[in-house]
Amino acid sequence: MTNVFLSLGSNMGDKKAYLEKAITSLKNLPQTTLLGVSSFYQTVAWGKTDQDDFINAVCQIDTCLEPHELLKQCQAIEKRLGRERHEHWGPRTVDIDLLLYGSETIDTADLTVPHPYMTQRAFVLVPLAEIAPDLIFPKTNQTVSSLLSDLVTDDVVKI
């Protein structure tokens, strides 16, 4: 089993319900155990900012699924929950990002792990620090808490 961290976000419709359904779907993946879920956080949009606020969370799982199979399963969950990919960083019913897959570094056309923007995003690091504050980020050997201390977190509100 590999320890994995996933980021979840929604900014369309019943955001909490979409996240709850995504978490249930992750819990039901084959060869996967849900270990923890952060609180939900309301956050402003990142990248393309002229859209509704998001609700974000982070999940920790143990899985025997290989990274690309896990990505495929996450994308299937997104699709089942109505995700349509029309524009980069656009609104979405649910988004599931693979943040960390054990201590592996993956760089392929469809998957980059650690997630390339995770250390720049308070909406990822705040919930991640809630469930794994002492987790070491493999590229910098810093803890999540240490990485978070470099970011402005005013726009990340626990709900």
From the list 50, 53, 85, 95, the catalytic residue is 95
Is residue 52 within 8 A of residue 89, CB to CB? The reply is no
Active-site annotation holds for 97: yes
From the list 80, 83, 150, 155, the catalytic residue is 83
Active-site annotation holds for 92: yes
67-80 and 15-27 helices cross at what angle (nearest 10)? 140
Is residue 59 within 8 A of residue 8, CB to CB? The reply is yes
From the list 14, 80, 92, 110, the catalytic residue is 92
Secondary structure element (H or E) that encloses residue 29, with its range: none
CA distance 41 to 157: 5
Q: Tell me the C-alpha to C-alpha distance, in Å, between residue 2 and each of 46, 55, 87.
A: 29, 26, 32
Is residue 84 within 8 A of residue 45, CB to CB? The reply is no
From the list 62, 97, 150, 155, the catalytic residue is 97
**Token pair for 95:** 């988004």
**Token pair for 84:** 């349509």
- Give the residue numbers marked as catalytic: 83, 92, 95, 97
